[in-house]
Every structure is written in C-alpha cells, then in structure tokens.
Structure 1
Amino acid sequence: MSSLQDAKPDWIFRNARIIDGTGAPSFMGEVAVTADVITAVGPTGTISQRGANEVDLAGMALAPGFIDAHTHDDRIVLDAPDMLPKISQGVTTVVVGNCGISLAPVQFDAEPPPPMNLLGGAAAYQFPNFAAYARAVAHARPSVNVAALVGHSALRLAVMANIAVKASDAEISRMGDMLTEAMENGAVGWSTGLFYPTNAAADAEEVAALGRYVARHNGVYATHMRNEFENVLESIDEAVHTAKAAGTPLVISHHKCAGVENWGRTEQTLPKIAALAADHPINFDVYPYSAGSTNLRADLITDTYPIMISWSEPHPEMTGRYITDIAAEWGIDIHEAAARLQPAGAIYFQMDEADVRRVMRSPLSMIGSDGLPHDVHPHPRLWGTFPRVLGHYARDVGLFDLETAVHKMTGLTAKVFSLTRRGEIRPGNFADLVAFRPEIVSDLATYESPLLQSVGIDWVMVNGVPSFSTTQSTPGRAGRLVQRDT
C-alpha cells in the first residue's frame, strides 16, 4: 500500500461534498486515487500533490459507488456488460442470485420453470458449477462489480428429480457440496425463494442444514420469505429460526406487507424484526416503490390492486397493459385472462406507500432494486431506484438526510454482505465512486415509460476506471467478482 501512497495519484477529485458512506456528516474535501485504490481523503486543501488527472467537483456530492443489495442481474452482466441501467444510476456493485434464483449450478434441457425463467431461457444456464460462472464474469468484465449468491431453487433443480418434496439427506449432502464449491470460488452467500414452487417444499430443517455449509465460509443468507401476505409474521419467525440454526447472518429480501388487507402491518413487522435483530444479525433490503414484479401467478391475481403485464409470450401486444382492461377487451374474467397470457410477467401494485416509507426509514434497511432486466416492459425500479431514493425520498420528501440515504446504499450494504474494502470513501478501499448533483438528481423511469435514464448522476468510477459520465458514449468496464471479508 505504501508504494501506492507515494506514487503520483492518477486522479484527484477536489471541491466535492464528500458523503463517505458511514452515515457521518458530509464535508467539503478531496479524494486521491492511484490505480484501483483510494490513497488519500481529506478536507479541501489537504492533498498538496497534483494528480495526473484533476477533477473539480464543485456543486457535486462524491459518494462511494452504490451497491444494489438485491438484483437479478446474473445473466445481464454477461450478455450486456455495459450495464447501462445500473451504472447510469451510480451503481458500481450488484448483488446477484437473489430469491433462490441463480445461473449456477444448474443447467436445463428444456425451458426453465418459473421463476428461473426470469433470468432467461435454457440457453442462459450454461454453468454446472460456480467456478464456471465466476470465469464468465471475469471474461465479460462488466462495468459493475458482481457479488454473487447461490440460489436454493438452482440447487434443488440441479439435484432433485422431484422438487415437490423435501430434500433427502443424500440430496442435501449433494447440494451442500455445491454450496461449498461456490463459497470456495467466491460466492458471498446463498438465497432462498420459499415463496416460489421450485423452493416451497423445502422446510426449515432443509434450509438450516444447507445454511450450515455457507456458515463454514462466513457467508450470508438472503431469503424471499415464504409469505409476505397474511402470514408475514410467521414467515419472519421461520427466516430468523433457520438463520440462527445455520449460524448465518440474515437478509430478508424486499421486506413488505403485500395485499390490501395487510396494509399498515409494518407497524408490527418492523418492531418484531428489530427485537429479533438484538440477538442475531438481521437486515433487509427494500425498493422505493409500492409495486412489486415477478412472474404472472394465479395466486396473485386479484381486482383489489392493479396488475400490469410486463411480458407475455403468446400475447406480446398486451405488454404494458392492465389485466382488468385486457379481460374486459376479451370479454372474460381476470383469472381466465391471466391463464391465456401465460407464460408471462407482471407488475403488482400491492403495497401501501406508508409501509414502504416505514421500511425505508428503518436503520436495518438497505436499498435494492429487485429489477428484472429481461422483462420487455420492466418495473421502473430497474432504471430508477437509486436516484429515486436520493431525489424523491431524501431531498423532496425528507424521509431521511442525504448521508443516511447514501449509507443505506453503500457502507451498510458492504458491511452486511462482508464486501472487502467497498462501501466507504477511505484510504485503502477500492476506488468505486459516484459524483452526483443533490439538487437535481431524479429518477425519470415510470410504469408507463420504464426505460428512461435518470438525471443528476454525472460521473462514476469503478475500481479506479472512469466507467460512466454524461458525456461518455460507452461505459468503461472494470468490474470484477468481489470477494467477502473472511
């Protein structure tokens, strides 16, 4: 490290409002970068050296690159490594493999079952083990870093002939070997999607048994819980019980209280989680929208909240339209319309804004987009999540200050996933940085026009490489598979 500190910096950023990712008050200062490392940080005027490149950030905030705590970017980092939907938001690291869905270690002869099809068709699943996926990420060199979880559904589909039952001891052992291989080759943990049919038959005993393999490597456990509707409290108990039994930290994915009959119940769930977190490491991610998105599912079809179609294989012309309007046009009920649209995806307006804000305010919450990049008409969270937090919720609504907003998308997330030398602006950390304009940063993507790039994110650096700017035609590509602290 001393040789880097003594070398002439490659970059010095001056006159910036530095928001360092810890949640501490911001300050006016400057940052030096040499190679891929931050080598100096201090108040304005304290870095006397001249850099090979000097950048005046007057009027801008300089923060650690944002870490998207919950994505399904497993395949898009390989197929479209410029990663414009994320790098344009200031995201420099994506956590993939959520909700039990990951590309490795499973392959398919036929089309993948839902929800595995959210990552693409059979051709997308090319990786019999995690090491093969890690090599693919290194070869693609995407514009963002990748922190990877291994999905429980992927494991079950790779090992089990019948996923409608609990795994046998022999099957758990085989899945455990796959988890061990993944952790030894750079995975940061694993995930379940107990809400989904590929994962639902797994009981707490199966989950805890597999979690112990991850615990041996200090990995984290993220879960799309079994129920986010009427049984949300029981699902929290199950998630915490299995994480404690395994000995892994717990991340509850996209915490919500879904369905109109459950609106307001975050007043119960949040105190419950906070109390349980006093005895075990627990956090959760949240996206800043009151609608979710996944496959079009028969058990989610209702007329109590709007449902927009995000894609449909037999009826692509219905993409972007509401299911009630489609049903009326076809002269049938919404359940029959949903069946006719399959296979399909949907956006469900199933949450209450007050609940979303309570979850976002919690000191345990991180920001995660949960975007689905393969959808024809995706949820706007794919392109807008992070500027929406900074602009709409921090600046306009005043839900929390800018330092807290940045902490929820940087330092806190790096700590929860044990990402080595990421998430804070301090000497010795990797140079993942974002410069943005607090007064104008805003999301532009909407449910009707979801592909619009946000404004106010001026400049992004990944591992010391300029990777995005408002004047840069092609994103730079310096991302890597990020390692966890051990």
Structure 2
Amino acid sequence: MLDSTIVGGTVVDGTGTAPFRADLAIKDGRIVEVRRVEGDSPGLETEAATTIDATGMVVTPGFVDIHTHYDGQVTWDATLEPSSCHGVTTVVSGNCGVGFAPVRPGREEWLIALMEGVEDIPGSALTEGMTWGWESFPEYLDTLADRELAVDFGVQIAHGPLRAYVMGERGARNEPATPDEIAAMGRLVEEAVQAGALGFSTSRTVAHRAMDGEPVPGTFAAEDELFGLGRAMARGGQAVFELAPTGAAGEDIVAPLRELDWMRRLATEIDRPVSFALVQVDAAPDQWRELMEASAAAFEAGAALYPQIAARPFGMLIGFAGHHAFTHRPTFRGLAHLSPAERGHELAEPAVRRAILTEDDLPLDPSKQFDGMKDLVQGSLSRIYRLGNPPDYEPTAERTVAAIAEQRGVGGLEALYDLMLESVDGEPATSMLFFPFFNYSHSNHDAIYEMLTHPAGVSGLSDGGAHCGLICDASYPTFLLTHWTRDRTRGQRLPLEYVVKKQTADTAALFGLGDRGVLAPGKRADVNVIDLERLTLQMPQMAYDLPAGGRRLIQAASGYVATMVNGVLTRRDGADTGARPGRLLRGAR
C-alpha cells in the first residue's frame, strides 16, 4: 500500500514543462509514480493510507529557498517560520558572511552582535533563545543533526566567524590576512565542506556592519584571501561560493564590475558556482543590466556565475510597530511602556496625534546603529508608498506619502501619521507602508522582470529569519506565484512553469541538491498543493513571539492546501501539523 496519493491536480513538475493533469504516488518519502491523466485514461487506483484530492489545485515541488538566516533560530524553533508558511521545504542559511561557527569559547556574544548588526535579528532573542555547545563548524553540524524540523536545513560556513576565529581581533577588525592565516582558514573551510557545509559565504558591502559599526570581517579581503578560501572550498567537495558584492548597497557604483571580474576568474579556476546578489540601485539605475549581461556572457563561456535575483523591490516596511518618522518625539517615547494594542489606541487620540506632530525630535544617540532611521523616513516621503491590503509591491507614483499629502491638502508628516494609523483587522496603527531602496528606480520598473529572465539567475535574497523589524521577504515564493504569474498589471507576466522552476529545480541544482526540486519518480516527496485562484498574500504584521519578546514581521498567506516534506504532511490549509520530518542537509547529493 502507498503512503500517500495526490490525485486530480494540475502538476507543475519543476522542469519547466507546461502544466499537465497527473496523480502522484508516494512511498517511504519518495515519489514512486507520476501518472498522467489524459482523456479517459484512469488515474492512480492503488490503495493509499492517505489521499489528497487536488482537483482544481496546482501541485508543485516544495520550494528551495537558498538565501536565509536561520543560523540561530534553528537551535530553538523547529518550524522555521515564516519560510515554512510559504511552501518552502528546504532552506539554506549561512549567507552574507555571517553565522555562528566556528566560535572561540567566550566569543558567542560577539557573533550575536555581528548577526544583529548585519541582519537585524534582535540580539536579546538570540541570547535567550540559542543553545550553544560547539566550537568547530563540524561540531555545529553535529548539534543541528539532532534537530527535528518542519523543513530541511542546510548551512554554509561564513567568512565573518571564520576570520575572527583564526585571526582574533585582527580578523574582526578587517586587517589583512597573512599567508599562514589564509592557509589556516582554508583548512577549516575544507573541513567544513567535507563535514557537510553547502558552501562558503562572504560579504563585500560596507552596509553590512556589526553593532559596533565595524564592517563584517572579510569585507575588504584581498584577492589572495578570497581565492585561497575558494580553492579550499573546492577541495572539500561540491559547494557554492556565495557573496554580497561590493556596491550591492549602492555605496560604490564602479565596484560591481570589478567584482564581477574576480568572481568570473574564481568560478573558472575552481570549477564551482559563484553566486552573488544582483540588484538595481538608484545611484546607478542601469548598471544592473551591465552586470546581468556580463555575467550572462561569462556563464555562456563556461564560468559558473549565478546571480541571485529578488522577486520584488527590496527596502523596508514603515509603521508604528517598527521603524518610522516619530520615534524621537517625546510623546511617542512616553507610550513605550504600553502594549502594542494599547499604544495603537493612544496614537489614535486627537490630543496625542496633535502633540506628536507638533513636537521637535529628541537628539540622536550615536551609540545606536539604527537611531537615525527617523531622519531617513522624514526625508523620503516621495519614495514611501501606501502598501494596501492585499499589499501592492509595484505601486504607482500617486500612492506615495507625498502625493497623498498633496491630494489631502495636508503636510507630509501628517499624511504619514494618518496612513500609519490605519488599521488591519480592526486594530489601529497596524498598517504598514512600503519604502523600496533597491529594484525600484523611477527610470525602470521592469528591472526585476528582466533579471528574472537571466539564463543563470536564481530566485534568492529572501533573507528569511532576518531583518526582523524591516522586511518579511520570506514570502517571496507566494509573491512569485501571485504577482508574476497571475496578478501583474503594469507589465509582462511570467509562465507558471517558469516561476516554479526558478524556485525549485534551479535553486536545488545550484547547491547540488539533486534529490529534490522536481516531481518525478525517485525524487523526494517534497510537495505543495496550492489553490492558485485563492492564493493571497496578507498584509505584513508585527509579532512579538521571538525569545525575550523580540519582534519580527510576519506575512501570512492563504491558499496553501497542503505541504509535504519527505512524504510527511507538515502543513494543512495553512496550519502547522506538528510533524517534523525535516533534517540537517549534509552536503550535495
């Protein structure tokens, strides 16, 4: 008897083939048959312990998210939400040069401060929630191997902790590495890949800074260090060299093309994939096309260069629950002791509103990394958009705060206050506004569409588990399905089979995970059953469910009928079933 069958659905199998009617048979965590149902041909008739009727639904492979930051969360949270809420069945962490292994005893808090500064994960949540117990990277993997999870979890060894471990304070402060230090780091990278690391990651962008303001260790690493670590990674086995390149945050508009040159040479020499973030920046709004064309040409010539493409504009969400323009107004500060719901009701009071809008800001605290965010928001009202519900991530100019203020005949900050005061589900001051930094230049709103058609581009950059007070882009899989295949009105759409392949077979193949990403006999039974017609992305909301009451943005979706991991039903009608078939991934397969 089969363990499960999924019958009557429209299968989008991950290969890019056009959708087709078929039934799936599952046994012992594997797909054993995909039987096409055409005309009068019968479907599966074999008895199964569980049958899911997928009539009218789309059946896809589970999504493989290759750019997350669950390195700490995985030690306390078995669900790895919010990624698992969006059809994701495999995640890869350890990106952007930050992680938690190797670590010298007593340096755990330094790594937490590094992760908090770069990825905006509350340090108090990491301190309270994480369970340590390792020093080396293989020991970190051994710890994770005991975890029973809702999704499969893979991780890369990161340059930041590696450099600090080998070089001490010199490494943490980005001093040049000696040949002996490069060799020592190389031995640890090779050891990590042999133990099961899926890759090596580094960051070259100075926007990635620890809580003390220091750029991530490795930001300014010379070519001998980068190539030495790349060669060591290749000696260890099949792995990926991942990086956030110089200029990815717009701080140096000339640097990305220089970066592409060494990435191309490294990929060619070590014969391993080099994957990098490709985004559009306002400082050079058309440079992304040069990078895309150059990387595509290098790929066609044999260099394994794989840009990671974001599914939508990247920026931040603005709201009273997170970052906004009024954080330094005395009256707002006076509401800090209230619960979020209580604070929302107080903010709706006319006297409180009037006081906050007429007060001067308190001085900035230079010791706090994000203390100047309110100035950024106050000066960017022509770039902050009303998000709406359901959210619109491709908004038009009349939706900016500045345009709405003009329409209403009020000041910009007054319009901002009132827009943030709007309610979601009846609770005032829970609305979010959208402030895109990258991938939404006024000169070209079709950049993401063109990037998504890059011959080697892969869907990435969701940052699942990170930037908790700024974004919730772990919802990329749902956005790709809804916006790019069904809802987009301002430009071309993409075929469903193309979008599914981009986040299943393509992402799995990049990291050598050949046992998943496609619905075919012998492959892992990581499967989604989706009601595509009613698939909906909800408004992002702030939750306070991290350890120590830490906050994070959560974005739910409706329309996921069932999700399977290794043949086990992990989510049903959007709810976690409590099953934990996910495990640590050790290396390519």
Letter aligned with residue 321 of structure 1: H
Alignment of 1:184-223 (within 5 A): 184-195=194-205, 196=208, 197=215, 198-216=217-235, 217-223=237-243
Shift of 1:55: 1.5
Shift of 1:478: 0.9
CA contact (8 A) 1:212 1:247 kept: no
Structure 1 residue corresponding to 2:279, chosen from 256, 272, 280? 256
Q: Which moved more, 1:385-394 or 1:135-144?
A: 135-144
Tell me the equivalent position of 2:388. none
Distance in 2 (alpha carbons) for counterparts of 1:404 and 1:372: 22
Shift of 1:473: 4.9
Tell me the equivalent position of 1:452. 555
Q: In the alignment, does 2:258 pair up with 1:234? A: yes
Shift of 1:246: 3.5
Tell me the equivalent position of 1:51. 48
Tell me the equivalent position of 2:439. 351
- 1:291-323: CA deviation from partner (whole Å, max 9, x where unpaired): 246xxxxxxxxxxxxx859xxxxxxx8833148
Tell me the equivalent position of 2:159. 152
The normalised TM-score by structure 2 is 0.71
Tell me the equivalent position of 1:134. 141
Alignment CA distance shift 1:323-1:356 (3 Å): farther
- 1:184-216: CA deviation from partner (whole Å, max 9, x where unpaired): 211111111121422212112211111111112
Question: SS in structure 2 opposite 1:84?
Answer: coil
Q: Which moved more, 1:241-250 or 1:222-231?
A: 241-250
Tell me the equivalent position of 2:519. 425
Shift of 1:268: 1.7
Letter aligned with residue 111 of structure 2: P
Tell me the equivalent position of 2:324. 321
Distance in 2 (alpha carbons) for counterparts of 1:422 and 1:407: 12
Tell me the equivalent position of 2:369. 342
Distance in 2 (alpha carbons) for counterparts of 1:290 and 1:115: 25
Q: In the alignment, does 2:5 pair up with 1:12? A: yes
Shift of 1:368: 2.3
Letter aligned with residue 153 of structure 1: G
Distance in 1 (alpha carbons) for counterparts of 2:134 and 2:565: 26
Distance in 1 (alpha carbons) for counterparts of 2:500 and 2:365: 40
CA contact (8 A) 2:95 2:202 kept: yes
Letter aligned with residue 249 of structure 1: P
Tell me the equivalent position of 1:26. 19
Letter aligned with residue 232 of structure 2: Y
Alignment CA distance shift 1:326-1:435 (3 Å): farther
Letter aligned with residue 52 of structure 1: A
Q: In the alignment, does 2:271 pair up with 1:247? A: yes
Structure 2 residue corresponding to 1:281, chosen from 287, 292, 304? 304
Alignment CA distance shift 1:350-1:249 (3 Å): closer
Tell me the equivalent position of 1:404. 498
Alignment of 1:6-155 (within 5 A): 8-44=1-37, 45-107=42-104, 108-112=107-111, 115-117=114-116, 118=119, 121=123, 123=127, 124=130, 126-155=133-162
Tell me the equivalent position of 1:302. none
Question: SS in structure 2 opposite 1:112?
Answer: helix
Distance in 2 (alpha carbons) for counterparts of 1:268 and 1:326: 44
Identity of aligned residues (%): 25
Structure 2 residue corresponding to 1:387, chosen from 472, 478, 482? 478
Letter aligned with residue 259 of structure 2: S
Shift of 1:484: 4.0
Shift of 1:465: 0.9
Alignment CA distance shift 1:205-1:329 (3 Å): farther
* Count of aligned residue pairs for this structure pair: 454
Letter aligned with residue 233 of structure 1: L
CA contact (8 A) 1:145 1:479 kept: yes
Distance in 2 (alpha carbons) for counterparts of 1:110 and 1:58: 51
CA contact (8 A) 2:86 2:477 kept: yes
Question: SS in structure 1 opposite 2:534?
Answer: coil
Distance in 2 (alpha carbons) for counterparts of 1:424 and 1:439: 23
Distance in 1 (alpha carbons) for counterparts of 2:329 and 2:310: 28
CA contact (8 A) 2:190 2:234 kept: no
Distance in 1 (alpha carbons) for counterparts of 2:542 and 2:484: 21
Letter aligned with residue 133 of structure 1: Y
- 1:421-465: CA deviation from partner (whole Å, max 9, x where unpaired): 011011111111111122222322448894231121111000111
Alignment CA distance shift 1:374-1:261 (3 Å): closer
The normalised TM-score by structure 1 is 0.85
Distance in 2 (alpha carbons) for counterparts of 1:344 and 1:412: 40
CA contact (8 A) 2:275 2:305 kept: yes
Structure 2 residue corresponding to 1:169, chosen from 147, 164, 179? 179
